[in-house]
Amino acid sequence: MELLGKLNSPVMYLICGGIILLVAIICVIFGVRAYKAGKEMGIDTGKMKRVITASATFSVLPGVGILLGVIALSGSLGTPWPWLRLSVIGALHYETQVAEAAGEAVGLKTLSASEMTPEAFTTIALLMCFCIIWGMVLMIFNGKSYITRLMSPSAKKKGESAKEGEQAAENKAKKPSFADTAMTAMFIGLVSAYIASYIGSIVSKDGAFTFGGSPLSLAVAVVSALAMGLFLFVKEKAKADWIDSFSVAGSMLIAMAAAIFMGKVM
Amino acid sequence: MDNEKYIKGTHRLGRIFTCIVLVLLLLAPFIIGLYLKAMPNMPAVIKGFLSVGIVYLVSGIVEYLIYVPMLGAGGSYLAFITGNLINMKIPCAINARDIVGVKSGTPENEIVATLSIATSSLVTILVLALGVLLMIPLQPVLQSPALQPAFENVVPALFGAMAYKYYRQSKLVSLLVLTLMTLLFCFVPSLIGSTSMMVIPSGALAIALSYVAFKKKMKAAKEAE
Same domain, B116 and B198: no
Give the pLDDT confidence of B109-123 residue by residue, as tens digits. Answer: 899 999 999 999 999
Which domain-ending residue is among B142, B174, B193?
B142
Which domain-ending residue is among B142, B163, B178?
B142
CB B119, CB B112: distance < 8 Å: no
In this structure, what are the phi and psi dihedrals at residue A90, rounded to the nearest 5 degrees? -105, 165
Residue A165: predicted pLDDT: 53
Same domain, B180 and B135: no
Same domain, B173 and B117: no
Report yes or no on B37 lying in a domain.
yes
Closest CA to B100 of A210, A54, A259: A54
Q: Judging by beta carbons within 10 Å of its beta carbon (0-12, 13-18, 19+), is residue A237 exposed, middle or buried?
A: exposed
Report yes or no on B224 lying in a domain.
no
pLDDT at A67 over 70: yes
Q: Point out the residue among B70, B119, B146 whose CB comes nearest to the CB of A56.
A: B119
Round to whole Å and give the CA distance between B36 and B23: 20
CB A1, CB B143: distance < 8 Å: yes
Give the pLDDT band of residue A105 (cuts 50, 70, 90).
confident
Same domain, B122 and B159: no
In this structure, what are the phi and psi dihedrals at residue A215, rounded to the nearest 5 degrees? -85, 5
Q: Point out the residue among B19, B28, B107 whose CB comes nearest to the CB of A140.
A: B19
Same domain, B75 and B175: no
CB A129, CB B29: distance < 8 Å: yes
Report yes or no on B130 lying in a domain.
yes
CB B67, CB B76: distance < 8 Å: yes
Give the pLDDT confidence of A1-15 residue by residue, as tens digits. Answer: 588 889 999 999 999
Mean local confidence (pLDDT), A202-224: 92
Q: How large a percentage of chain A has pLDDT more than 70? A: 89
Report yes or no on B165 lying in a domain.
yes
In terms of pLDDT, which residue wins out, A90 or A224? Answer: A224
Is the sign of the CA dihedral B23, B29, B35, B37 positive or negative?
negative
Residue A203: predicted pLDDT: 95
Q: CB A75 to CB B162 under 8 A?
A: no
Q: Point out the residue among A73, A98, A189 whose CB comes nearest to the CB of B48.
A: A98
Q: Point out the residue among B56, B66, B81 whose CB comes nearest to the CB of A23.
A: B81
Same domain, B213 and B102: no
Report yes or no on B24 lying in a domain.
yes
Residue B68: predicted pLDDT: 87
Which chain A residues contact residue B176 at CB under 8 A?
none
Q: CB A122 to CB B36 under 8 A?
A: yes
Residue A92: predicted pLDDT: 72
Q: What's the mean per-residue pLDDT of chain B?
A: 88
Indicate the SS3 state at residue A159: coil
Domain extent for B54: 7-142
Report yes or no on B200 lying in a domain.
yes
Same domain, B171 and B107: no
Closest CA to B3 of B114, B77, B73, B107: B107
Give the pLDDT band of residue A87 (cuts 50, 70, 90).
confident
Indicate the SS3 state at residue B168: coil
Which chain B residues contact residue A97 at CB under 8 A?
52, 155, 158
How many domains does chain B contain in total?
2
Residue A255: predicted pLDDT: 93
Mean local confidence (pLDDT), B176-184: 97
Task: Report the alpha-carbon angle A159-A165-A167, nearest 5.
Answer: 105
pLDDT at A251 over 70: yes
Q: What pTM was computed for the model? A: 0.77
Which domain-ending residue is among B109, B142, B175?
B142
Residue B1: predicted pLDDT: 59
Q: CB A195 to CB B159 under 8 A?
A: yes
Q: CB A15 to CB B32 under 8 A?
A: yes
Which of A51-55, A79-83, A112-116, A188-192 has the least mean pLDDT? Answer: A112-116
Round to whole Å and give the CA distance between A52 and A58: 10
Residue A169: predicted pLDDT: 55
In this structure, what are the phi and psi dihedrals at residue A116, rounded to the nearest 5 degrees? -65, 135
Residue A164: predicted pLDDT: 54
* Entry field: residues in chain B: 225
Which chain A residues contact residue B63 at CB under 8 A?
135
Residue A212: predicted pLDDT: 87
Which of A86-100, B160-174, B182-196 has the least mean pLDDT? Answer: A86-100
Q: CB A98 to CB B52 under 8 A?
A: yes
pLDDT at A179 over 80: no
In this structure, what are the phi and psi dihedrals at residue B144, rounded to the nearest 5 degrees? -70, 145
Residue A177: predicted pLDDT: 67
In this structure, what are the phi and psi dihedrals at residue A113, rounded to the nearest 5 degrees? -65, -30
DSSP secondary structure letter of residue B85: I
Residue A29: predicted pLDDT: 97
Q: Point out the residue among B105, B177, B181 whose CB comes nearest to the CB of A166.
A: B105
Contacts of B109 (CB under 8 A, 6+ apart): B72, B97, B102, B103
Same domain, B183 and B157: yes
- Highest mean pLDDT: which range of A95-104, B43-52, B70-79, B131-140: B70-79
Q: How large a percentage of chain B has pLDDT more than 70? A: 97
Round to whole Å and give the CA distance between B101 and A25: 29
In this structure, what are the phi and psi dihedrals at residue A133, rounded to the nearest 5 degrees? -85, -5
Round to whole Å and give the CA distance between A134 and A138: 6
Nearest CA in chain A to B121: A27
Q: CB A104 to CB B150 under 8 A?
A: no
CB B22, CB A136: distance < 8 Å: yes
* A–B CB contacts, 8 A cutoff, strictly below: 626
Round to whole Å and give the CA distance between A142 and A1: 44
pLDDT at A63 over 70: yes
DSSP secondary structure letter of residue A241: G
Same domain, B41 and B87: yes
Task: Report the alpha-carbon angle A189-A194-A196, nearest 5.
Answer: 90
Mean local confidence (pLDDT), B163-178: 94
Residue A153: predicted pLDDT: 55
A26-41 CB burial, b ≥16 within 10 A, e <16: bbeebbebbbebbeee
In terms of pLDDT, which residue wins out, A153 or A26? Answer: A26
- If you write DSSP's letter for every residue of B159-208 in order, what string do you get? HHHHHHHHHTTSHHHHHHHHHHHHHHHHH-GGGGGGHHHHHHHHHHHHHH
DSSP secondary structure letter of residue B194: G
Centre a 10 Å sphere on the Cβ of residue B146 and count the other Cβ atoms it contains.
10
Q: What is the ipTM of this complex?
A: 0.78
Which chain B residues contact residue A248 at CB under 8 A?
158, 161-162, 165
pLDDT at A159 over 50: no
Round to whole Å and give the CA distance between A118 and B44: 14
Round to whole Å and give the CA distance between B82 and B89: 9
